[in-house]
Amino acid sequence: MSYPQIKITFLGTGTSSGVPMIGCSCAVCTSTDKKDKRLRTSMLIQSSETTIAIDAGPDFRYQMLREGIKRLDAIVFTHPHKDHVAGLDDVRGFNYFMQKPMEIYGNEMTLEVIIREFPYAFTEKKYPGAPNIHLNTISSTPFQINDMVITPVLVWHMQMPVLGFRFGKFTYITDANRIEEKSRNLIRGSEVLVLNALRKEKHISHFNLSEAITEIKGLKVPVAYLTHISHQLGRHAEINPDLPEGIQLAYDGLKITL
């Protein structure tokens, strides 16, 4: 199957509290290095025809403004945690200028939470200016948005199912601490993989740094970027040079083309 060339932009690469974290004066949170300033994790995928965001967390508005995004065709959600859905109200600007609903894709659990968290968007008589949202339920079956065919990749965030996504040669996974073999088979053959790596210490629901590296090596993906990073991992300038060949820390605003 042929696949369009895509530009990938890391909108945010931080964990749920972001980096710097409120109230923290550690070396990472007080760093002047721009690569240590991490908004909540999100991704932008663009082809010549289509622009898709993966997740819309609390920093969604600023991320769209920073990247100068005037048109957004859809938002595809990985899971319903606040740091991935809290910015959804800000699709109102796209509604106004594009004059159509925002297409939202997520599994049943995620869409149920969105309806509960943003009830005013789904009432029969909407308040003027409420976000206009059209929900699309996805599961494990590949789906298509314009010229992009997207393959969901099921991973586990402790006991919560989370969807990663494969776009041709590129696979994106966040908020995971377990990947089953069936999903590994969907990832294999990717040229670029994005995977979460929260910190060095073990965590109950996220891969730590060593676990993420082990997964990447086992999948034999030649290029990998680590995301969903906390201040506990360490400063970018100190951690990145020590990573294995082909693996590096992502940072906000990083762009790659495939």
**Chain segment 186-237, per-residue pLDDT in tens:** 999 999 999 999 999 999 999 999 999 999 999 999 999 999 999 999 999 9
Predicted structure pTM score: 0.96
Distance in angstroms (rounded) separating the CA atoms of residues 71 and 53: 11
Domain residue spans in the chain?
7-257
Q: What is the DSSP letter of 29?
A: T
Distance in angstroms (rounded) separating the CA atoms of residues 211 and 216: 9
pLDDT at 57 over 90: yes
Q: Give the CATH class of 7-257.
A: alpha beta
Mind listing the pLDDT tens digit for each residue in 99-131?
Answer: 999 999 999 999 999 999 999 999 988 888 899
Distance in angstroms (rounded) separating the CA atoms of residues 228 and 175: 7
Region of 18 (left: φ > 0; alpha: ψ -120 to 50; beta: rest) is left
